[in-house]
């Protein structure tokens, strides 16, 4: 007897050195980040930012009963939060799209709200250069 294949959407999000991988599948509406519910994420500002894609999808009546499992690694706290929200938003857009690929209404709403919900932030740290303590700062010299 063949096993029935469960529909799963795998997405990812990046910010600086943080990488988040989200997996969306049919379920009870739970969202977990690194094994713990998103509702207990601290600090509160980070939790509110990470839940933005869920709030927008819920307002548009596009949030189905799905479980979203996010694994995030690297970077700092807010970099991880930005990666999480990108991964969640991409996952919801692909899940609601069905066979044609993406849900255009939800995608346009996300882009109208904040482009970084669907597009990774390309900015990276500038490397340190010689003759200085950082990327731009240089040792001062005096000729007098």
Could you give the CA distance from residue 129 to residue 17 in angstroms, rounded to a whole number? 20
- Supply the pLDDT for residue 143: 79
Q: Tell me the two tokens of residue 18.
A: 């943080």
Answer whether 87's CB lies under 8 Å from 21's CB.
Answer: yes
Q: Is the peptide bond before 113 cis (omega within 30 degrees of 0)?
A: no
Task: Identify whether 50 is part of a domain.
Answer: yes
Any idea what the CATH number is for the domain that residue 74 is in?
3.30.230.10
Task: Identify whether 44 is part of a domain.
Answer: yes
Which pTM does this prediction carry? 0.86
Answer whether 87's CB lies under 8 Å from 144's CB.
Answer: no
What range defines the domain where residue 55 resides? 15-103+110-117
Could you give the CA distance from residue 94 to residue 85 in angstroms, rounded to a whole number? 14
Burial-class residue 4 by CB neighbours within 10 Å (0-12, 13-18, 19+): exposed
Task: Identify whether 8 is part of a domain.
Answer: no
- Supply the pLDDT for residue 49: 94
Task: Identify whether 126 is part of a domain.
Answer: no
3-state percent helix, strand, coil for the chain, nearest multiple of 5: 40, 20, 40
Task: Identify whether 144 is part of a domain.
Answer: no
Could you give the CA distance from residue 7 to residue 95 in angstroms, rounded to a whole number? 9
pLDDT, tens digit, 9 for 90 and up, residues 26-55: 999 899 999 999 999 999 999 999 999 999
pLDDT, tens digit, 9 for 90 and up, residues 6-33: 789 999 999 999 999 999 999 998 999 9
Residue 1 has pLDDT above 80, yes or no: no
- Supply the pLDDT for residue 142: 84
- Supply the pLDDT for residue 84: 96
Q: How many domains does the chain have?
A: 1
pLDDT, tens digit, 9 for 90 and up, residues 79-115: 999 999 999 999 999 998 866 677 888 899 999 998 9
Q: For 64-82, what is the mean pLDDT?
A: 93
The beta-strand segments (E) located in the chain are: 8-15, 18-26, 31-33, 36-37, 66-73
């Amino acid at each position: 007897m063949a096993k029935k294949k469960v529909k799963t959407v795998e997405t990812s999000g990046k910010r600086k050195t943080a990488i988040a991988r989200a997996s969306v599948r049919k379920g009870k509406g739970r969202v977990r980040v690194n094994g713990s519910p998103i509702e207990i994420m601290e600090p509160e500002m980070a939790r509110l930012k990470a839940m933005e894609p869920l709030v927008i999808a819920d307002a548009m009546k596009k949030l189905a009963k799905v479980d979203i499992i996010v694994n995030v690694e690297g970077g700092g706290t807010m970099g991880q939060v930005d990666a999480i929200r990108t991964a969640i938003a991409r996952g919801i857009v692909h899940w609601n799209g069905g066979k044609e690929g993406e849900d255009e209404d939800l995608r346009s709403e996300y882009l109208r709200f904040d482009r970084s919900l669907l597009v990774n932030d390309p900015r990276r740290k500038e490397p340190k250069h010689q003759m200085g303590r950082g990327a731009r700062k240089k040792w001062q010299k005096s000729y007098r």
